[in-house]
Structure 1
Amino acid sequence: MRLAAVTLLMLILTACHVDPYTHQPNWSDPDWFNIGKEDAISGVAAKRADDFAGESRHVQADRAEYLRGYARGQKAICTENFVEALGYAGKRFPASCDTVEDTDRLQALWQRGMKAGETTTRLN
């Protein structure tokens, strides 16, 4: 009886074992819209067409979708308040805002925030 209980316990415990190689991830095509959006929000300059060629030889990049997402990310980050806050915090001007229409105005606001942040730091 004791042997049967131990055997049954062993069978139950081995049935719960998951082999890590049997559950492989399901790879899908990259979401180029979100990749572009994340690049812009990170302050990274937009990738050129030849940048995509070297990244992956097996996946065809959707440059149009990437640029559409990049533009959406620029709308989120290249705002007056956000850029000024980046300057105030001592962060550099995002490269993703270099290509928007009002770059000069945004850089002036960033510079104003940078000066205000330096003044605050000196006073403390």
Structure 2
Amino acid sequence: MRRALLMMSILLSTGCQIDPYTHEPTWSERNWYQIGADDAMAGGMPKSAQRLTREYDDPRVDIADYKKGYARGQQRLCQDDFVYVWGLSGKEFPGACENLKETSPLRARWKEGYTGASENSLLN
């Protein structure tokens, strides 16, 4: 009988343990500035706070930091030589460079690279 009580107490005590993996996740701080800069440098259009919340599963989006980072990435990407090389690589005109006051000359420079890349591929 004593052995049965001991076995029952062991079984009951192990059944009442707390599973360490069922706690609520802790949100790590995201670098929204860097996320915005990366999105711009990838050529994409800026994302809304709702879209960022869905994509990163994080309700604490700092949209102001994201926009600052996006603007910085846009400055780096939307340069004459950079869009030329972008076109040479066969990529479409970056959406990050749309709706800027210098979009027309940038698009022309990109097209030079894009058509140059297609002419080179025909020759090879």
TM-score > 0.5, shorter chain as reference: yes
Aligned counterparts of 2:117 and 2:39: Cα–Cα separation in 1: 26
Aligned counterparts of 1:97 and 1:37: Cα–Cα separation in 2: 13
Amino acid at match of 2:86: L
Aligned counterparts of 2:95 and 2:39: Cα–Cα separation in 1: 10
Aligned counterparts of 2:114 and 2:57: Cα–Cα separation in 1: 42
Does the CA-based 8 Å contact 2:27-2:58 persist in structure 1?
Answer: no
Other-structure match for 2:112 = 112
Does the CA-based 8 Å contact 2:38-2:70 persist in structure 1?
Answer: yes
Aligned counterparts of 2:58 and 2:47: Cα–Cα separation in 1: 18
Provide, for residues 43-99 of structure 1, a one-character-per-residue CA deviation record: whole Å limited to 9, x for no partner: 111002332343456531111110000000011111111101111121111111113
Gaps of 5+ in 1: 1-20
The aligned length equals: 101
Gaps of 5+ in 2: 1-20
Provide, for residues 5-24 of structure 1, a one-character-per-residue CA deviation record: whole Å limited to 9, x for no partner: xxxxxxxxxxxxxxxx8xxx
Amino acid at match of 1:91: K
Aligned counterparts of 1:52 and 1:121: Cα–Cα separation in 2: 38
Does 1:43 pair with 2:51? no
After superposition, the CA RMSD in angstroms is 2.2
Aligned counterparts of 1:54 and 1:68: Cα–Cα separation in 2: 20
Aligned counterparts of 1:58 and 1:94: Cα–Cα separation in 2: 27
Does the CA-based 8 Å contact 2:53-2:59 persist in structure 1?
Answer: no
TM score, norm. by length of structure 1: 0.71
Other-structure match for 1:78 = 78
Q: Per the alignment, do residues 88 and 57 of structure 1 end up closer, same or farther by CA in structure 2, a change over 3 Å counting?
A: closer
Other-structure match for 1:7 = none
Amino acid at match of 1:114: Y
TM score, norm. by length of structure 2: 0.71
Identity %: 37
